[in-house]
Chains A and B, each alone.
Chain A
Amino acid sequence: MTKSKITREEISKVAKLANLSLTDSEIEKFTPQLAEIFAYIDQLGQVATDKVVPTAAVNNLNNVTREDTIADNRVLDQEEALGQSAKVEKNMFVVKAVIDND
């Protein structure tokens, strides 16, 4: 079904997609480990699954909805909401710039 050999390049690419910065030695360590894990999970290719309906959830529920109203008892006030952030300015979270000014 799929190739079971994972390359260093693929590990680097996946790490980037997952917003993880890995060191060279981490890539060195993870590459054979993940290759072994993928070789193992590739055995699912042996199972015939034509027309088998996938199972995403196991509680027999469908589209559980609620009224679109504010649950006052679990709204955090501003001080609480900001209280765990390492960097706060003017009652706002500080994030990295994503748009370059130049």
Chain B
Amino acid sequence: MDQPKTIHELTTDLASKKISVTEVVADYLTKIDQRNGELNAFLTVAAAEAKEKAKEADAVIAHDPDIFTKKPFFGIPVGHKDIFLTRGLKTTAGSKVLANYIPQYSSTVVKKLEAAGAITLGKLNCDAWAHGASGENSDFGPTKNPHNLDYVPGGSSSGSAAAVAADLLPFATGTDTGGSIRQPANFCGVVGLKPSYGRVSRYGIVAMASSLDSIGHLTHDVYDAAAVLEITAGKDPYDASTTDLPVPTYTKLLDQPLPKKFKIGIAREYLEGLTDKDVLSSLEAAKAILARMGVEVIEISLPHTKYGIAVYYIVQPSEVSSNLARYDGIRYGNARASFGDEAKRRIMIGTYTLSAGYYDAYYLKAMQVRTLIRQDFDQAFGEVDALLSPTSPTPAFKLGQNTADPLAMYLADVYTVTANLAGLPGIALPTGKTKENLPLGIQFLTAQYTEEKLLNLAYHFEKTLHGK
């Protein structure tokens, strides 16, 4: 297989007329044709529309060669997790409830990427309603890990990770409520960026848990992660939770040298109970790379880490139960009987934790412990610039391994959920592979709304890893 092309490499090729948009789009559609049968990464392929847009794009390039400076993603294919509304293009959220839903409008992120010139190739499989860590909760069948078809790609942005890893797309959008971008990126060996809560608009994206949902993307490298964020980030009048902090030009800040005395913390609570030898060795390898970069790594404490999953499995289902209450099959979609098992479980957990008499013991208590988790991070970022951790306690697991035990599946989110509870940005980076050819990786976190710092670190880490 050829080395996958990044967005910036494709742009160089397109701008120098080495290849046309029509050829780029046709190439990806051919690869999708060849591999989607076994991977089940795409739920909808918009082949005809994409070819038409490619033809129009080539016509624009012919008379306006400067178009690439005006539209940074001109002619670049993209796929969207199937919970991003796309006007006129079926959007299912991976659920039979929305099996035939054709949105009347597009989400802000889809609009922004289209305005930057990106061409939508299709919609990507995911755990139904983004509930899951394996892709197996999709009502339209599981996605497979392109590195080994017996293994899960992770979830819930399962199709996004598998499609980018298999080079069926140069990049894909995803959402991360408890790790749903970072964990599948880790399982599939691609870069997964979860921006801070409020950095990217949630408008027009099927809501899972409104105080936790972060909108991000999966790419081949850190440069592309920065380039996509530069387009998607910013205040949106249609999402009142977006911050009006200015959006830095992330790509221009990437190769700045890291600040002197840059310090990274590893929480000792993250190491307790971490037994997987491959994950431990990938963490050691990451520490060695950081040492080569001249970065100091120290042990710190995040004392409330062990309560992260418990807080998350109260806050998240509570918000899920109220968000999914709107699906009544009247204005659009099918009746509530079409909800799958995992959605039903979460609706019931949330309904219970919010019900009269239990609110104080569950939801209020969880919000209070959420405060303590957030304070842990505030304190940590007083001591260090960034945090290093595994992304998941294990590499990808086999299909079917955890499906009968929801709690075991939930515990796979232990390193990712706390960033959502505290609203922090995080990035999952690939570091290598196991003997079984399964990807390994690590995660960096920084303080809220410091994506430029996170990406700066990730960029240098990636460069040093590749010996550049």
Contacts and interface: CB of A to CB of B under 8 A. Distances in A.
A14 B331 contact: no
Nearest to A65: B240
Interface in A55-96: 55-61, 64, 66, 74, 76, 80-81, 83-87, 93-95
B348 A11 contact: yes
A58 B448 contact: yes
B101 interface: yes
Contact of B310 (A26, A44, A66): A44
B434 interface: no
Interface of B is mostly: helix
B364 to A, nearest CB: 6
A53 interface: yes
B374 A55 contact: yes
Given A44-B310, A74-B105, A84-B332, A22 B344 contact: yes
Interface residues of B, number: 61
Nearest to A30: B345
Contacts of A2: 358, 361-362
Interface string B343-387: 011011101100100100110111111111010000000000000
Interface string B236-252: 01101111000000000
Interface string B102-117: 1011000000000000
A40 B370 contact: no
A50 B240 CA distance: 31
A28 interface: no
Given A19-B336, A61-B198, A30 B307 contact: no
A49 B211 contact: no
A12 to B, nearest CB: 10
B243 A59 contact: yes
Contact of A33 (B304, B345, B372, B448): B345
Contact of A37 (B313, B336, B366): B313
A55 B330 contact: no
B399 interface: no
Interface in A1-49: 1-2, 6, 10-11, 14-15, 17-22, 26, 29-30, 33-34, 36-38, 40-45, 47, 49
A52 interface: yes
Contacts of B310: 40-44
A49 B369 contact: yes
A95 B328 CA distance: 10
Contacts of B358: 2
Contact of B104 (A17, A44, A76): A76
B368 A52 contact: yes
Contacts of B311: 44
Contacts of A22: 344
B339 interface: yes
Nearest to B410: A37
Contacts of A11: 348
B48 interface: no
Contacts of B448: 58
A51 B12 CA distance: 57
Question: Which of B329, B351, B421 has the most CB atoms of chain A within a 10 A radius of its CB?
Answer: B351
Contacts of A59: 197-198, 241-243, 423
B406 A84 contact: no
Given A37-B313, A84-B101, A55 B367 contact: yes
B48 to A, nearest CB: 21
B337 interface: yes
B412 to A, nearest CB: 14
A66 B310 CA distance: 36
Contacts of B237: 66
Contact of B365 (A36, A49, A60, A74): A49
Contacts of A58: 197-198, 211, 374, 421-423, 448
B203 to A, nearest CB: 9
Contacts of A52: 368-369, 371-372
A20 B347 contact: yes
A30 B348 contact: yes
Nearest to A84: B332
B199 to A, nearest CB: 9
Contacts of A36: 406-407
Contacts of B341: 26, 29-30
A85 B237 CA distance: 28
Nearest to B343: A20
Nearest to B102: A84
Given A1-B365, A76-B104, 4 more contacts: A14-B351, A40-B310, A44-B369, A84-B331
Interface of A: 1-2, 6, 10-11, 14-15, 17-22, 26, 29-30, 33-34, 36-38, 40-45, 47, 49, 52-61, 64, 66, 74, 76, 80-81, 83-87, 93-95
The 6 A-B residue pairs whose C-beta atoms are closest, nearest first, are A58-B423, A54-B367, A84-B332, A59-B198, A64-B240, A49-B368
